[in-house]
Amino acid sequence: MRFFKQFKRYRSPLDFVRDILSGIIVALVSIPISMGYATIAGLPPVYGLYGSLFPILIFALLTTSPQFVVGVDAMPAVMVGTLMVELGFASESPDAMSLAAIMAIMVSIWFLVFYIAKAGRIVKYISTPVMGGFISGIGMTIILMQLPKLFGGNPGTGELVPLVVNIAEQLHNFNVLSFVLGMATVVIILVCKKYIPKVPMTIVMLVLGVALQMKVGLDKYGVKLLPETSSGLPSLFIPDITVIKGNVDSVVITSLGIAAVIMAQTLLASESYAMKHFYSINKNNELLAYGAMNLVAGFTGVCPVNGSVSRSGIADSNGTKTQLMSLTASAVMLVVLLYGTPYLKYMPVPVLTGIVMTALIGIIDTKMEMRLWKANKNEFIIFIVSFLAVLFFGTVNGVLVGVVLSFGEVAVRAVNPPATFVGRIPGHGNYHSLNRNSNARAIKGAVIYRFNGNLFFANIDKLVTNIEHAITPTTKCVVIDARGIGTVDITAADKLVALYKELNSQGIKLYITEHDGSLNDQLRISGAGELFEAGAVRQTITLALEAAGFEKPYVLEDHDGSDILATSGEEIHDIKELTEREWLHNPSK
């Protein structure tokens, strides 16, 4: 079973202990989060705890992700709650209970469809900057949702604007002691994580919060505590399907939307953790795991279950290695439901919220943001746009924007691939970039142009324009180093022929060299056969130069306009080391 294979990730017995501790923390933090989202979905609070019992157990056994966490979460709960309002069902009524369960079962059916359609491959169309912006956007969204709980208010739902409005509206519930407890929890955990990372400060803060309540009675000063919850395990729940009579279309469409949200958020977040920790997940297998956990959720009366970015962040920050963490969390929730519900009333909400906040702060990828700012401004913009798209328009729309941006990024790179003019270094063989190597010199009378990308209608003009601008009155031949060109379309082939004719009319020879033989087949099929008849296609740069009348040693053109032979390199010292350093470090101009 794949679950047991995860134990190969253990490097010491401490990893086993960390997984156990992470599971305990995840279970305890899941209590307020799950209960809150269950009420948003129109269910009794205890059903949020049910969502962290059997569904999380099934997911742990089926998933290929060794550290991701699932449970009752924001977006599916909001979508179910919204549908209940539209259909006029009262919260916690029998009709509401049946509708929530039906939605979870319908979502599981959609995941079976997604599995058959291999929809998990959507992730490969999402670039790392998009994924980083997406996960960071979700993290910031949940922070804004939970922020009012930090100072004694009620959590919000929706996107950025309604969340900000809710924060402003909840300020009238501002409780100074709640805010101090919440902020102190955040600061203490973050500071200790930096200086004493091996100490499980989340558990320490939970224990301190409970101890303060039992000793001082924080609720007497306006600090909110978790509500009392009934004990016992969930029983098999068979929903009454007649409640959706006349509204089947709404249920089908909404359940599809929920499945799409779960797939996008959970799959992308799981892939993000996989990239971060250098392992791989089977994306299509994950869809089966999502379907199975929602099927179990439906038949225990729980609303659709989603991957939890906040709880996964907590698990990750505590060094989770395997899904033993989820099994532990499920076992802890079992104990809580059987014996611990009377003690939940001692847990201060601001402390629990502070713990969630520290995890969410950790998943906002500021390091990637800074890397992109330094390395690639276009990818930095993609990161920011993905981040803002999730904040302003929600998960599904954020994914759609991300996919569009990913394809746009590919298109931009294809339209503007790297290219450079090359020459020779005196006393040395091979051809080197004139931009990147200070000792490289152009061969006098020859323009040698290296193009590193597939040649098609959108970028052929770049090649033609660059070559035309490089031609001087002394140019006798132009050589296209095509080793980086894998494909050529009809438009590009036609323009290569036109370029050949134009240069030929000026007494300048054009050659295409160094490419794979398959490019020859494409050129012929695309109607560029006359290039072969004219001898304009040669195997190597050396053969092309020879055909144009250039003999070795080539005459190179120095920076001051004087001539230098390619074999004379006496005045250039340590040239091999210098050339490699420049190749490694000099940016292209």
pLDDT along the chain (589 residues), means of 10: 72 87 88 80 88 94 92 83 82 90 96 91 75 81 86 83 91 92 91 81 83 90 84 91 88 87 84 86 92 96 90 86 93 92 84 80 80 82 88 78 79 88 84 87 94 92 95 95 93 95 95 91 93 93 94 84 66 53 59
Alpha carbon dihedral 430, 434, 439, 440, in 10-degree steps, equals 40
Q: Letter for the amino acid at 471?
A: I
The helices-and-strands tally (H runs, E runs) of the chain is 24, 10
Rounded (5°) CA angle 388-393-396: 105
Q: Are 563 and 556 in contact (CB under 8 A)?
A: yes
What's the sign of the alpha-carbon dihedral 446, 447, 450, 453? negative
Q: At 209, is the secondary structure helix, strand, or coil?
A: helix
Q: What is the pLDDT of residue 568?
A: 54
Strands 419-423 and 70-71: unpaired
Q: Are 49 and 351 in contact (CB under 8 A)?
A: no
Q: What is the pLDDT of residue 584?
A: 54
Alpha carbon dihedral 580, 581, 586, 588, in 10-degree steps, equals 0
Distance (Å, whole) CA 566 – CA 430: 11
Q: What is the pLDDT of residue 291?
A: 95
Q: Are 281 and 312 in contact (CB under 8 A)?
A: no
How far the first Cα of the chain sits from its last, in Å, is 54
Q: Are 103 and 254 in contact (CB under 8 A)?
A: yes
Distance (Å, whole) CA 565 – CA 83: 80
pTM for this prediction? 0.69
Q: At 537, is the secondary structure helix, strand, or coil?
A: strand
Backbone angles phi, psi at 433, to 5 degrees: -65, 130
